[in-house]
Structure 1
Amino acid sequence: MAFNTSGFNPVIHSSTGGGSTCISGNVIVSINTPGTKLLYEAPQDQVAVTESFVELFQINSTFGADAAAGGSSVISGEYSIFVKLCFPNDPSGLDKIKTVQLLTHGATLDYTYWDISPNYSYIDVASAADYATLSYDQLGVGNSDHPDPIQTVQATSQVAVVHELVALLRNGKLGGYHFDNVVGVGHSAGSMLTQAITHSTRGTSTP
């Protein structure tokens, strides 16, 4: 199967489940979005991590409010995001695929959640139903860039990254494929992120 690898490192491979053909690599996205200047420094050892969690979850905790008291900030820059674009193995139907599912993993996972093994691959199930899929590592996760985890890797920056991925998919900048519809699919915290994305685009266009 011949694929256009524009926008990717030229890596073409089968899905882990074996039912899809995928293009994977890192793409550069540029974001500029409001953030929060958090008054919190990364803990230096496990004891400090535990103390932070104890303070966060105690009754009447002011941990979150105190950390967010630094006011607003701007999160801006270019970041490398690892993506995996997959299609059904049968090349004859590629021209008919107009919808891609944008898969967002949970907070403690990465892109591999969607394609674990044969018979345990969401990507292959989607391919069997004639959908393309784009799974990715969120900013600060896995093969994507790992910038400042406190001041840069925030919910607003994650949403901004996904907006850029949606634009790339719609504009044919990933593999040269133009998709008419981008459907957000999320797991766990990824579902919350997906809701935030669709909410922030009301009145304009939705992913």
Structure 2
Amino acid sequence: MGGILPLVSFGALVLASTTASTPTGSATTTTTKLCVQLQIPVHVVATNYHYDQPRVDSSIDAIDWTVNVTTWSSSNFTERITERVDVNKTFNIGAQLCVPSRKTSKAGILQIATPGLGFGKEYFDVKVDPQQYSYVDAAINKGYSVLSYDRLGTGASEKPDAYDDVQIPVEIEILAGLTKIARGGKLLSSSNASSAISNASAKFDFVPTKIVHIGHSFGSYINSLMLINYPDIIDGAIFTGLYPNSIEATNPLNVLNYNHAFAKESDPVRFAKYGSGYFVLDNEETLQKLFFQKATLDPALLTYADSIKQPEAIGEYSSEDDNPLAPAPNYKGPLMFFVGEFDNFICNGNCSGIYSEAFARQIYPGVGVDDLTYYLQPNTGHASMLSTNASAGYEVMLGFLDSRGL
């Protein structure tokens, strides 16, 4: 992809031009970003399982499910498997592709951003004071292209069965599928929206020169598991909200620590399309406890987090025990773990001094000594991209990629 990309509008498909604001500490120039909203069909073949667990059809059920799966003697979901579920389906995934309007040396490097539980793609493209908080804007200003997407069951993506469809093996294959589509230069042409294109001169599709994965929390977890079977599919990665440490494996927080409500009952209008098995973090207080640190908390961002929060599927939780973090020995690209210093979810509130080099090396033995690293974002909680020092963190992340030729 080179040159200046056209501003185009094709009926239902709109390629919008907006200004990417420059984060604090960056150069004073700004870059126009061109963004298009896509519906990308991704075919998935995966093995899921059906689990013996309560159904969630109300907020009372949501609390009952939480107590049930964290207090039973058989709380390990592997013990609750009742049958295998073979998935062979095509799922429609909502995504946003943004590219810089001017020619840059990095425009061919595509970053694919995967959000964590409780959020969709809006987590990466914050609309509150975007010059401070939008990761997409920060990346565009450095010349990158960015594909952010809604995981299955969230946002503009399809909302299938929350118990048997929306599980980790399926989400791994969706991420791998999106990456393969991007590698083949088919993001736009494979989208359901592409049928609206009639102007053959509009060259938006491109074959990326390199692909980098950016994940947050559960999104980072999915990324890491994907690298087990698809080690050569990307050129580098930054996993935020994921941190090999000496506490996580022995004293993790679980769903009993956070209040959930049945999505449709919590907001009947906003979550009208969500059925049984989808719940949502219930209010701003719960969001603060899970995602924020007071020292870097902007109340406007807490309200924003509540406005963009997305439901979580029961199957995402029940499939974790059968899909533990495991070695990806054949992945050899650079990798950074990026975590808030006071991440309540990952480190029980204090990540200082607990990074485990041995654990990291066990997972990624093929990564070079200088290419496997970590960074603690000062005074920050689990949602580092919603902290008041987010832009400083983006400088670290994008600087890491640049230093590795990405």
Instruction: Bin the TM-score by the shorter chain.
Output: 0.7 to 0.9
Structure 1 residue ranges without an equivalent (≥5): none
Greater length-normalized contact order (CA 8 Å, ≥ 6 residues apart): 1
Q: Distance in 2 between matches of 1:36 and 1:56?
A: 16
Q: Is structure 2 residue 176 aligned with structure 1 residue 163? A: yes
Which residue matches 1:49? 62
Which residue matches 2:187? 174
CA shift for structure 1 position 64: 1.9
SS at match of 2:47: strand
- Code of the aligned partner of 2:101: N
Paired residues of 1:10 and 1:24 also in contact (CA < 8 A): yes
CA shift for structure 1 position 200: 2.2
Q: Distance in 1 between matches of 2:18 and 2:155?
A: 18
Paired residues of 1:55 and 1:61 also in contact (CA < 8 A): no
Which residue matches 1:100? 110
Which residue matches 1:201? 230
Compared CA separation, residues 200 and 5, structure 1 to 2 (3 A): farther
Q: Is structure 2 residue 88 aligned with structure 1 residue 76? A: yes
Q: Is structure 2 residue 120 aligned with structure 1 residue 110? A: yes
Q: Distance in 2 between matches of 1:73 and 1:82?
A: 25
CA shift for structure 1 position 76: 1.5
CA shift for structure 1 position 183: 1.0
State the TM-score, normalizing by the size of structure 2: 0.46
Q: Distance in 1 between matches of 2:159 and 2:227?
A: 25
Q: Deviations over 1:123-166 (max 9, x none)?
A: 11111111111000011111110010110000010111111101
Compared CA separation, residues 61 and 17, structure 1 to 2 (3 A): farther
Paired residues of 2:99 and 2:140 also in contact (CA < 8 A): yes
Which residue matches 1:25? 38
State the TM-score, normalizing by the size of structure 1: 0.86
CA shift for structure 1 position 15: 5.2
Paired residues of 1:17 and 1:116 also in contact (CA < 8 A): no
Q: Is structure 2 residue 15 aligned with structure 1 residue 2? A: no
- Code of the aligned partner of 1:72: R
SS at match of 1:24: strand
Q: Distance in 2 between matches of 1:180 and 1:17?
A: 22
Which residue matches 1:138? 151
Q: Distance in 2 between matches of 1:36 and 1:4?
A: 44
**Which deviates more from structure 2 when the two are superposed, residues 124-133 or residues 56-65?**
56-65
Compared CA separation, residues 200 and 4, structure 1 to 2 (3 A): farther
Q: Is structure 2 residue 220 aligned with structure 1 residue 185? A: no
Which has a greater percent of strand? 1
Which residue matches 1:88? 100
Paired residues of 1:37 and 1:151 also in contact (CA < 8 A): yes
Paired residues of 1:15 and 1:124 also in contact (CA < 8 A): no
Paired residues of 2:98 and 2:147 also in contact (CA < 8 A): yes
Which residue matches 2:273? none
Paired residues of 2:99 and 2:144 also in contact (CA < 8 A): yes
Q: Distance in 2 between matches of 1:15 and 1:34?
A: 41
Q: Deviations over 1:27-50 (max 9, x none)?
A: 111111111122335322222211
CA shift for structure 1 position 79: 1.2
Bigger Rg over Cα: 2
CA shift for structure 1 position 13: 1.6
CA shift for structure 1 position 58: 2.3
Structure 2 residue ranges without an equivalent (≥5): 22-30, 189-204, 235-406
Q: Distance in 1 between matches of 2:18 and 2:61?
A: 40
SS at match of 2:69: helix
Q: Distance in 2 between matches of 1:149 and 1:5?
A: 35
Q: CA RMSD in A?
A: 2.4
**Which deviates more from structure 2 when the two are superposed, residues 40-49 or residues 73-82?**
40-49
Paired residues of 1:34 and 1:156 also in contact (CA < 8 A): yes
Q: Distance in 2 between matches of 1:129 and 1:46?
A: 44
- Code of the aligned partner of 1:199: I
**Which deviates more from structure 2 when the two are superposed, residues 186-195 or residues 11-20?**
11-20
Q: Distance in 1 between matches of 2:76 and 2:18?
A: 43
